Chain A
C-alpha cells in the first residue's frame, strides 16, 4: 500500500514536471552558442587530459533552451482569462497567445507568461467602458 502511495505521488510529480518543460527547439543563434560552449568544454577536457562530463554538455544545452516555461492547458488558460476554451484556441491559433503550440496529441499548450500578458492587455483595455454610441462626436 505504501509503495502504491509512493508511486501515485511520484506519478503526480512527474506529471507536474512534464508541464514545467523547456522549449523543445533551439533558435539557430542559441544552437551556435550551445555548440561554442560544448567546444570550450572539449578544449578544457583535452588540455586537462580527461573526458567531458555528459552532465556539463546537457547543462550547456539547457542553458541554450532558455528559462523553464510553465505551460497551461486551454482549459486552465480559459479559466485564468475568463473566456471560453474556443476563444483560447482561436487566440492560440492566431498568435495572440504567443508561443502556443499543440502537443503530439493535438492539445493546445499555452505558455503561462503569454496568458499573463493577454490578461493584462484585456483588463487594461476594459478599464474604459465600451460604447458604440457616437453621439459625443461633434
Chain B
C-alpha cells in the first residue's frame, strides 16, 4: 500500500505563539508524521519580536530577565527548527502583494505558504480567516482547533479496530472478576 503523503501545513506566527505549537510538534514529530509543518524567516522574526515585547511587558527588561527570555527562546527555537521545514522567502520577499489582497501585512504569510507548496495555512488570526473565506486558490486556510480535531478523527479511522484501545480478553476477564 502506498504511503499517504502527510499534508504540508504552513504555520502562521499566531499558531507558534499559542498552545497550538505543542500540537504542531506532536504531529510532525511523530513516526510516521501526520503533517509536514512549514515556517519561514518571516514567521521566525515575528515570533521572536512578539515574544520579546510580551516578555518585556510582563517581566520588564532587567538584564536577568533578558537572559531568561533569551534562554527560553533558544530552547523553543531548537525544537521548532528540528521539526519544522524552513521555506525561504528569499525569492518572493520583494514581490508586491496581489491587488486582491486587502491587507498587505498578510502577504508574507501567504507567500510563504505558496512558496512551500502548502496544502493548508494554519492560522488563529480570525481576521485573515474571515477575509479569505477559508481558501485562497488551492490553499486552504484553517483555524488550529478545528484542523487538529479533523486530523485526530482521520487517524482514528485509519487505525484497525483492535489498535484503538479495546479491552483484550484478559482485561475483560479481570474486569468481570472485580466484585461489584
CB distance from A103 to the nearest CB of B (A): 10
Say whether B73 contacts A137, CB under 8 Å: no
A residues near B (Cβ < 8 Å) are 89, 91, 93-96, 98-99, 102, 105-106, 121-134, 136-138
Overall SS of chain A's interface: loop
Name the residue of chain A whose CB is nearest to the CB of B83: A121
CA distance A122 to B80 in the complex (A): 11
CB distance from A111 to the nearest CB of B (A): 11
B residues near A (Cβ < 8 Å) are 13-14, 17-19, 21-22, 25-27, 29-34, 46, 50-51, 53-54, 58, 71-73, 75-76, 78-80, 105, 124-125, 155, 159, 163-168, 170-171
Name the residue of chain B whose CB is nearest to the CB of A137: B50
Say whether A138 contacts B105, CB under 8 Å: yes
Name the residue of chain B whose CB is nearest to the CB of A89: B165
Identify A132's interface contact among B19, B164, B166, CB under 8 A. B19
Say whether A98 contacts B71, CB under 8 Å: no
**10 residue pairs bridging A and B, Cβ less than 8 Å apart:** A93-B159, A93-B164, A94-B27, A95-B33, A98-B31, A102-B163, A125-B76, A129-B58, A130-B17, A132-B124
Answer whether A137 and B13 are a contact pair too, CB < 8 Å, given A94-B34, A127-B72. yes
User: Which 10 A-B residue pairings sit nearest by Cβ, starting from the closest?
Assistant: A106-B168, A95-B30, A127-B72, A127-B75, A124-B75, A98-B31, A136-B50, A128-B76, A95-B31, A96-B30
CA distance A101 to B69 in the complex (A): 38
Name the residue of chain B whose CB is nearest to the CB of A124: B75
